[in-house]
Amino acid sequence: MDKLRIVGGTPLRGEISISGAKNAALPILCAGLLTADSLSLTNVPRLNDISTTLRLLGNLGVRAERHADESVTITADQISSLEAPYDLVKTMRASILVLGPLVARFGQARVSLPGGCAIGQRPVEQHIQGLAALGADIHIEHGYVVARATRLKGAVIRTDMVTVTGTENLMMAAVLAEGQTVLENAAREPEVVDLAELLIKMGARISGHGSDRIVIDGVESLHGAEHRIIPDRIEAGSFLCAVGAARGDITLRGAAPETMGATIAKLREAGLEITCGDDWIKASMDKRPRPVDIRTHEYPGFATDMQAQLMALDTLAEGTSVIVETIFENRFMHVQELLRLGAHIDIDGHTAVVRGAPRLSGATVMATDLRASASLVIAGLAAEGETLVERIYHLDRGYERMEHKLRTLGARIDRLTGKETT
């Protein structure tokens, strides 16, 4: 298994490009199931989760062409299966996103239940109840969600909590339903908005996306479209935390600062100097960070997907900070590993109290999930000496060539491939 070796202590300087957003690209690829025409997508990041999605779609009969320039064309004109098998779903929970489109267009789907994951249980009962409200006959059988419908019928659906992929799945189902659907308590994340924008280009009638009430008037069919995936706000935020911890002066091109309000505000509070244009962010840091408290929240609040990275910055702060995780029940897996680097963190339930230390010291640590991995890389960049981050396949799921981008910024980081490390 690959590892990253980081020699910390080098300030980051230079310019990199931000990739397309993983969590926008995943539902958008699944939206390709809603039409027999082609979707031409650009700014699709090169990530393992994207390859898994293309494999999953390929298994259903979708034709996908991936081009060198980060564009992908998908065509779902010859669907040969309506089943998402356990082997593919278990490696990537977002596979549940094929459920809504398959039931909406083909009136049938069999999708494996994802099961728990490192950050929490992550059930999908809201997806299932929402589809039932749209008239699907849906139940769980042998570990699979099995759904049938002649044509879905619009309904008012209020989810019990704000769910990002739940909103996306139900929106994709409702676009082909008969009549009007209203999604109340809908997720407002930019990735949900990006999906809605694509669906509108495909002929869907959607309004209210970006608010917590999305109104969808079903249409008979959708057509092909071209779409550019929005920039990844979590990738950009992770690089900003990295310069906060390692210090230096960086510019991020192809970013979307207007989707990053909460992160940028917290990083300014930590002492970073940040200036933004429409599609770029410049950030510099020349001192120890100030401690910042955070409480994760649905968009536009502080993203749970940025919690671990900001905690890495707080471990170096001049003072104590309090971090409360409200979205997932088990998203402090990085804490044990940060302690190995010399951080001082106490956890009490959903709250972590971080007492900043003047320095961290390199050690071997293990990545447990995607954002935890990024947090360990950030801490490693600031730590004295060598840090080895193991199990970085998590990182490869969601960050495009992170070590290359960090090397461009002057970091001393390299990948040890399976062979070199055994």
Which residues of the shown chain bind ligand EPU in the complex (CB under 6 A)?
A: 23, 26, 93-94, 120-127, 161, 163-166, 191, 304-305, 327-328, 370-371, 398
Q: Output the smallest distance, CB 383 to ligand EPU, in A.
A: 23
117 labelled catalytic? yes
Which parts of 154-189 fold into alpha helices (H)? 164-174
Tokens found for residue 246: 């390692």
Q: Are 99 and 147 in contact (CB under 8 A)?
A: yes
Closest by Cα among 346, 327, 330 to 338? 346
Closest CA to 363 of 344, 325, 337, 335: 337
Cβ closest to ligand EPU, residue 5 vs residue 227: 227
What CA–CA distances, in Å, run from 355 to 240, 293, 322?
A: 21, 11, 9
Rounded to a whole number of angstroms, the minimum distance from the CB of residue 168 to ligand EPU is 7
Q: How far is the CB of 165 from ligand EPU (least distance, A)?
A: 3
Q: Which is nearer to ligand EPU, 123 or 277 (CB)?
A: 123
Which positions ≥6 away from 230 have C-beta within 8 Å? 20, 21, 24, 43, 190, 191, 194, 256, 259
Choice between 23 and 259, CB closer to ligand EPU: 23
Nearer to ligand EPU, 38 or 169 (CB): 169
- The least CB distance from residue 397 to ligand EPU, in Å, is 8
Nearest-approach distance from CB 326 to ligand EPU, in angstroms: 9
Provide the β-strand partners of residue 137: 148
What is the per-residue DSSP string for 89-101?
A: HTT-GGGGGGHHH
In the complex, what is the shortest distance from the CB of residue 159 to ligand EPU, in angstroms, rounded to a whole number?
7
Give one DSSP letter per residue of 247-282, joined into a string. Answer: -EEEEEES--GGG-HHHHHHHHHTT-EEEE-SSEEE
Closer to ligand EPU by Cβ: residue 195 or 354: 195
The nearer residue to ligand EPU, 4 or 21, going by C-beta atoms, is 21
Residue from 30, 117, 241, 276 carrying the catalytic annotation: 117
Burial class (CB in 10 A: 0-12, 13-18, 19+), 346: exposed
85: exposed, middle or buried (Cβ count in 10 Å: 0-12, 13-18, 19+): middle
The dihedral built from the CA positions of residue 239, 244, 246 and 249, taken in this order, carries a sign that is positive
Query: 9 vs 261, which CB is nearer to ligand EPU?
Result: 261
User: Can you tell me the distance from the alpha carbon of 118 to that of 339, in angstroms, rounded to the nearest whole number?
Assistant: 19
Cα–Cα distance, 376 to 384 (Å, whole number): 13
In our burial notation (b when 16+ CB lie closer than 10 A, e otherwise), range 216-237 reads bebbeebebbebbbbbbbbbbb
Query: What is the secondary structure of 103-143 as a DSSP string?
Result: HHHHSEEEEE----BTTB----HHHHHHHHHTT-EEEEETT
Place of tokens 């999604």: 183
CB of 344 to ligand EPU, least distance (A): 26
Shortest approach of ligand EPU to residue 221 CB, angstroms? 26
- Give the residue numbers annotated as catalytic, written as ranges: 117
